[in-house]
Amino acid sequence: MFFHQKKLQYYKRPEQPDAVYAKKIQELIGGTFGEMTVMMQYLFQGWNCRGPVKYRDMLLDVGTEEIGHIEMLATLIAHLLDKAPVSEQEEGAKDPIIGAVMGGSNPREMIMNSMNPQHAIVSGLGATPSDSVGYPWNGRFIVASGNLLADFRSNLHAESQGRLQAVRMYEMSNDPGVKDTLSFMIARDTMHQNLWLAAIEELEKDNLETTPVPSSFPLELEKREFAYQFWNHSDGTQSAEGRWAKGKSMDGKGEFEYIANPEGLSAEPEPPMPDPKLHGTPKGR
């Protein structure tokens, strides 16, 4: 069960509206690695968690925090869309604020043409659950597998992409308010990268999972002879120069081997003929 506290976790109002920037920052709400993704991913992982309760509680804590991050960004977008020009300017109604923001070189029409049209037509200048090109967030963006190491690696990756994108948005703005709000979110992403690294360490300390995931699958059931080979699938061997091509494997259970000129191990496939009732093309005479 959830509760809402009306204060925002953190927020600084942008000094100037910027409808085109509002379009772009939608990526942080509804993009593949936006706040809707981490919120839903952590909540579903928490609800599906069968591991020790500290993991479950932690997942739900962080997932709940992320709902508030959507709230912060939705507020930010509403302010960025303030006074967004949605119709052609009437005579005598020159808008000095827009003019000032844009320094004359960006006419009102450019903003009208470049903003997300759904911000005007569909949401009436509010945030939408979609990304910076207007593609909607969807449930395939998240994973909750029941295996905590697999999922924590997913979370680490999501926070890495998420911080990278937030940093890019930071660089793309000159507005002190926007930059201030983002610098809070970027710091939280730093925490969350550290958090998932810590949780991975904790899982190993608790003897619950290790590499390769899932570690509960008996290694002798996989074809061990292929478990540490790098197959070179190209001309040239620059790929032999990395750590992955030689030395002890990272799981400590094997030795990397570089196969410079691999060959297929099995014959050409021969798919069987389907039922004639399906009217596929037969092998012929």
Interaction with a copy of itself in 195-224: which residues (CB under 8 A)?
195, 197-199, 201-203, 205-209, 211-214, 216-217, 219, 221-224
CB of 218 to a copy of itself, least distance (A): 10
Give, as ranges, the residues between 4 and 33 that touch a copy of itself (CB under 8 A).
4-12, 20, 23-24, 27, 30-33
| Amino acid sitting at position 139 | G
Six token digits for residue 103 = 């320094």
Minimum distance of a copy of itself from residue 257's CB (angstroms) = 9
Positive or negative, the Cα torsion across 50, 56, 62, 67? positive
Please name the amino acid found at residue 285. R
SS3 207: coil
Q: How far is the CB of 175 from a copy of itself (least distance, A)?
A: 10
Cα 16 to Cα 10: distance, rounded to the nearest angstrom: 19
Enumerate residues 87-116 that contact a copy of itself by CB under 8 A. 87-88, 102, 105-107, 109-114, 116
In the stretch 43-62, what mask flags binding to a copy of itself with x, by CB under 8 A? xx--xxxxxxxxxxxx-xxx
d(C-alpha 54, C-alpha 281), whole Å: 58
Q: Taking CB under 8 A as the criterion, which residues in 131-150 touch a copy of itself?
A: 131-150
Out of 1, 92, 93, 96, the residue judged to bind a copy of itself by CB under 8 A: 1
Cα 147 to Cα 142, 154, 203, 212, distances in angstroms: 14, 11, 11, 12
Sign of CA dihedral 39, 44, 50, 53: positive
Please report, as residue ranges, which positions from 229 to 248 form the binding site for a copy of itself (by CB under 8 A): 229-239, 241-244
